[in-house]
Each structure stands twice: as C-alpha cells, then as structure tokens.
Structure 1
Amino acid sequence: MKIFKAGLLSALMLAAQPAAADTTIVFNNFLSPNDKLWLDVMKPWIADIERVTEGRVKFTVPASSLAPPPEILNSVQQGVADGAFQMVGFLREQHPELQLSLLPMTYFGNEETSVALWRTWETHFKGKNDLRDVELLGLVTTPPGSFLNMKKDPFQSLSDLKGVKMWSLPGLASDTLAATGAVVSPGPAVRMYEVISGGVVDAFCCINFESLEVFNVTQYVGAATEVPGHLFAPAFAVFIRSDVMAEISPEDQARIREVSGEKLARYGSFGDPAEAAARQRAIDNGVPIVPASEAFVAELEQAFEPVRAAWFKAVEPMGIDGAAALEFYLEQQKAIADGN
C-alpha cells in the first residue's frame, strides 16, 4: 500500500508540473532590450507564437547577441542560433531583392511599407532566391531618414549637395546620396556620433529623428529637408532555421505562419507615432524641417533613376521583374492606406 501511495504521489506531482515545450527556439536579439523594434514588434510576435502553439513552441533569448549584425543570418544557418532578425542591407550581395524597401522615395507609412513589402515578397520574390536553410517569416520596416544639414540652410537643389561631405549608412543609402553629387562617407550607425561630432562631415542622412536621439546627434542638425517617400527606410528580415521548423508539428507550423507574414508586418504600425513625436521634439528645439521644393523633387527623381535601374538589373538574373515589383510595392502601400 505504501508503494502504491508513493507511486500515486509521484504521478500527481509530475502532473502538477508544467509540461516541457516540444521545441525551444534560441532566438537572437542584437538590439537593446528597450528598443521599440524589439519591444513593440518582436516580443509580441514571439508571444503570439507561444500562445497559438499553447506552449509547445517556446523561445529563449540570450542576454547578448550571438553574432555581430552583419553575420546574424550566417550564425543561424550555422546553428549558433535557431532564429533571428537582421537588417536586410547586410544581405545585399546574396539577396538584392530584399533591398526593395531601401530604394529612395518609396516609403509612405510604416505599417503600409511593412505590409506592402511582405505582399511583394509573396507575389514577386518567393521561391526565386529564398534564404538558404531558413524560413523567412516576416519583413518589417522602420521609419525613414531625410537630408540633414549641419548648417542652418536646408538643402533645396542638387547644386546645394554637390561636393558636400555627408555621412550615411553603407549600401543603398550610400549609393542614393552619391547619385546626388554628395561626397559620401559611409559607416555603421555606432560610429555616427564620432564622425559627426568630430566635424569630419558637413551633413548626414538616412537616420530618422528618433534614432538621432538614440545616437545623441540631434544637436548637430542645423536644418532638415524632407522629400516625398523619404530617402531610406531600414527593413528587417525575420527567420527561423528550416530544420528547427521541421521539428514542429505541421499543425503548429501552420499556426506559426498564421501569426507571421502579414500579421507580423502589421506590427510595423509601432514606428510612425514614435517618429512623429521625435520629429516634433526636433522642431521644438529649433530645427527647421522643410519640404523639398517641386523643382528639387524633380531633380532627385531624375538623379535616382540609375539607382533604381541598378536594382532592376541586380534582380533580373533571379527571374524577377524589378519594375513590376516596385510598381506593385507602391500600389500596395496606397491600398493598405485605404484599408485594404
């Protein structure tokens, strides 16, 4: 009888303990734990997955990044982490198609851009140059940047930009500025304060107003010029290793995909309110923010044609019609803004 009672007690104790997750995903985060992209997009998405799979899929997030930002996809492909998100600019050589949202003058709202980018991937890119050994589960953009002069004079023509030493992020942002005649000094955002505060450049670009505060360079902005569709909006790819997904039941895989893709992209609405507030703080601190004149916009449209043409050429070998993809992307943003 004592043996029976002891066995019953052990069984009851085991039953009272929470069941272990069928799959635990080690998910890399390279951002500060207080970063809004992490707090308002990635964490809610992770919570969605744990909820819809009823805890059968759980996430664990290391205290610090397992790889530097340029190597995040490689680290997941090599099994250092099971999943992650990465700025698509670092994937330019292998995945030029994912640079679409980085093209100048293509951003018309953060949720609109995020959702339109996902729809464009599904319609024009999927199956043509998929990320190796991982499943792409989402694409999310963040607010864009403008022309920022360290002098009080806002830029209003290509002649104003010619020969100006200007800092920017590398990649398409740098190409975009070079097309205006500026002398570009590209580099990572973490080096921005050093370059700008040291007087190495006369102007800078492609960082939004909220990020200016994060990197403590708002005080160096003399004037800002905004163009329709802006100049550069970072986008992030979200992915989980394919063999890890394969361990999950087909039913739970379907549930994960249901809360990813467009639903994940909808979390992109996080960006615009915070950016609008940071922009207003800049105005309150005396920074003039002016729209580009019609003549300047026309000059920029013409100057940026080679940047777009180079992107069309880069995606053509993959069987992608870049002009059609770009047109679809812009049309979808308008549709999403109209509630579709």
Structure 2
Amino acid sequence: MMNFKKSLLCVTAGAALSLSAAAAETTLRIATWLPPTNPQNATVWPTWKKWVEEATEGRVEVVVENYTGHPKTIYDAVEDGIYDVGFSVEAYLPGRFKLSGVAEIPGEITDAETGSVALWRTYKDYFEPADEYNGFQLLGLFVHGPGQLHTKFPVNSLDDLKGKKMRVGGGLINDLAERLEVTPVSAPSPKSYEMMQQGVVDGTFLPAQEQRFFRLSEVSSDLTLFPKGLYTTAFSIVMNQDVFESLSKKDQEAIMSVSGERLSQLAGAAWGKADDDGILEAKEKGVNVVFLSESDQRVKDLNKLSEGIDQLWVNSVSDRGIDAKAALADFRKYVNTINSKK
C-alpha cells in the first residue's frame, strides 16, 4: 500500500509538472551579471519572475541566467535576441542613454527607492518621446543607493583624495571625480575588489552595499559615508522589442502591470536596503566607518564642488528634444513628495 501511495504521489507530481510546463507558452531568458547575493539576483529577479508568471497565469515562464561578458554588452545581447531581458548601467554606454542622468546629479536623492520611483515618473512625463530605448521594451529604471567612498586610506578632508587613483564607472561621477582631482580609472564595478587588492586603484566610488556583495570590506580600510552620497548610478531593465511584441496583447499588458514603476520601486528598495547590510559588514570586518553630518566640512566642500553639475546634465541632453529644466524641476518635486510620505 505504501509503495502504491508513493507511486501515486510521484505520478501526481509528475503530472502537475507536465501541466505547468505545458501551460508556459513563452520562456523569457534573463541575463544577469552580479553575484548571487546581490539584491538584483537575491530579491528583484525572483520577485519579478513570480509576478510575471502569476500575472500571465503561467503562460510566460522566466529563467534567470548568469552573464559572463562585460555588463555593457548586455544591451546588445538583448537587442540581438541572444537574451530576452537584461539590465545594466546606462553610463557604460556613454552617449546612448543620457536622460536618466538626471538621477545621477550629486545631492539629489537620499535613498535608492525614492530616486528610482522619481526617475520612472520623470521618464514617463518627459523622456519617453525621446525614444532612447528604441529596439527595447523598457521594463524599469532604477538607481542604487548613494555612492560613497571605499578607500585604502582615511579621508579626513577632500584634499586627501587629490592624486589618488579611484575606480569610476562613468556618468556624472566622472565630472565630480575631475573636480575632486582624483586620477580616474574606468572599470565595471565588479572589478573593484581585484583592482583594490592588486593596488591598481586606491579606492572606488560605489554604494555601501558593496562592502558585502563585492567583499570590499576585505580590501578597504575606510568607508566614508556622505549624507546624500557623492552620486548615484542609473540602471535600465530592458526586454527585446520583437519578443515583447510576439506575446499576446493580454500577456503584454500582464507583464507591464508588474513592471514600470512597480518594478522600479522594487529594485530601488532592494538595492537601498542592501546598503545597511554593507555598513554592518564593514563594521564587522574592522573597516573604519565614518558617518558624516551636513555640518561636516567635507560635506560642505563636496556641496561646493558639485555646484553646476545639474547644468552640465541639462546641457548634455540638449539634443534630445525634451524640456530638461522642467524635467529636473519635476524630478526634484517627485523626490520631495515621495520623501514627505515616508
């Protein structure tokens, strides 16, 4: 009797799996490039997978696959149909994506969730007609938490940064790096550990979470935290346009119902929460963690150095046919509105 019951359970389970597999009419392959513990892989993708599969009643299955190439090539991989969905840092492709730089201006946001929602709303209000995502179905936009200083030396004043080799990832942080008089070394963020360990750079600009996820706590002596960070970085989540259009109208609407602002907020919240984990990791590993207040001279000096970077962004998007000043004003309005509701 026991064997019969086991056999019956196996048959039932197998039938359920077969039905589940049969119900999936489309499989979306996601290219991801960060460590498994990163919030994008630990939280964002699993959650969105669940949302999509539930919203499409199982007709669309989502599979996440590791991408080993340079993260900037994910856009080509998705556009060419090698993968169906992916995400990456927009600044890795300078000149192609300019508008999201509104969220990268120093001192504009205090947390990733707020910045991500404000960026999506600004995109819908101002940036969409510029068609920067031609060839893609844009699923979401988000930013990581405020970028901070991870260094192999103490930063008692901004003068301590002069001449130091610092990894930068592109975007408006490059303009700030120039004003800080550091020697910029361009490289994707996952290279930070190796470059610091080997002495190629003296530090890196990244959110606090990377003390844990990129193990920077092993190669940093100091983590200097500015109240609003030094910058942030914009990411986009994109889907191959042809694949999206090949879906039924019902499934297109289902996917977008769990994407857009909802996905942007999910990603921003997950990345922002991870900063707390990074700070805790740094403390546990003996890194000198310094929290700066608005009254600290280093913060005042940074604010002075950052003056005019907002205008640099306005000037940089003059060829996009949008009202950049109005977009910046509304982005700031969204940030303030969202913060006031927290």
Same fold (TM over 0.5): yes
Q: Which amino acid aligns with 2:51?
A: D
Cα deviation, residue 295, structure 1: 4.2
**In structure 1, how many angstroms separate the alpha carbons of the residues matched to 2:126 and 2:330?**
9
Give the Cα separation in 1 of the matches to 2:288 and 2:131.
43
Given the superposition, is the C-alpha separation of residues 215 and 251 from structure 1 closer, same or farther in structure 2, using an over 3 Å criterion? closer
SS at match of 2:117: helix
Matched to 1:141, the amino acid is V
Q: Give the whole-Å Cα distance in 2 for the aligned partners of 1:219 and 1:20.
A: 47
For residue 216 of structure 2, what is the amino acid of its counterpart? V
User: Which moves more between the two structures, 293-302 or 112-121?
Assistant: 293-302
CA contact (8 A) 2:166 2:205 kept: no
Q: Who is 1:96 aligned against?
A: 98
Question: What residue identity is the alignment partner of 1:324?
Answer: A
State whether residues 143 and 235 of structure 2, in contact with CA within 8 Å, keep that contact through their aligned partners in structure 1.
yes
Tell me which of 15, 38, 42 is aligned to 2:41.
38
Alpha-carbon distance between aligned partners in 2 of 1:281 and 1:67, rounded to the nearest angstrom: 28
Q: Tell whether the 8 Å contact from 2:192 to 2:204 is kept in structure 1 after alignment.
A: no
Aligned positions of 1:152-231 closer than 5 A: 152=154, 154-157=155-158, 159-202=159-202, 204-231=203-230
Taking only aligned residues, the RMSD between alpha carbons, in angstroms, comes to 2.6
Unaligned runs of 5+ in 1: 1-12
Partner SS for 1:28: strand
Partner of 1:7: none
Q: How far apart in 1 are the matches of 2:68 and 2:197?
A: 30
DSSP-derived class of the 1:27 partner: strand
Checking the alignment, whether the CA contact within 8 Å between 1:92 and 1:98 is kept in structure 2 is no
Partner of 1:335: 337
Quick check: 1:28–1:66 contact (8 Å CA) kept in 2? Answer: no
Measured at CA, do residues 68 and 278 of structure 1 come closer, stay the same or move farther in structure 2, by a change above 3 Å?
Answer: closer
Q: Deviations over 1:189-246 (max 9, x none)?
A: 33323332333444x2322232123333324433333333211323321111122121
**Equivalent residues of 1:25, 1:83 under 8 A apart:** yes
Specify which of 53, 59, 76 is matched with residue 56 of structure 2: 53
Q: Is the 8 A contact 2:110 2:146 kept in 1?
A: no
Gaps of 5+ in 2: 1-14
Q: Distance in 1 between matches of 2:61 and 2:76?
A: 22
User: SS where residue 50 of structure 2 aligns?
Assistant: helix
1:66 shift after superposition: 7.0
Q: Specify the alignment match of 1:65 in structure 2.
A: 67
Cα shift at 1:51? 0.4
Q: Give the CA deviation at 1:137.
A: 1.1
2:215 partner letter: N
Secondary structure, aligned partner of 1:127: helix
* Cα-to-partner distance string for 1:10-68 (whole Å, 9 max, x where unaligned): xxx9xx84434232222222233343212211221121111011012222333x32753
Q: 1:48 touches 1:259 (CA, 8 Å); kept in 2?
A: yes
Quote the Cα distance in structure 1 between the aligned partners of 2:207 and 2:122: 24
The aligned counterpart of 1:122 is 124
Mapped partners of 1:311, 1:279: distance in 2: 30
Please name the residue that 2:292 is paired with.
291
1:73, CA displacement in angstroms? 1.0
> Percent sequence identity over matched residues?
27
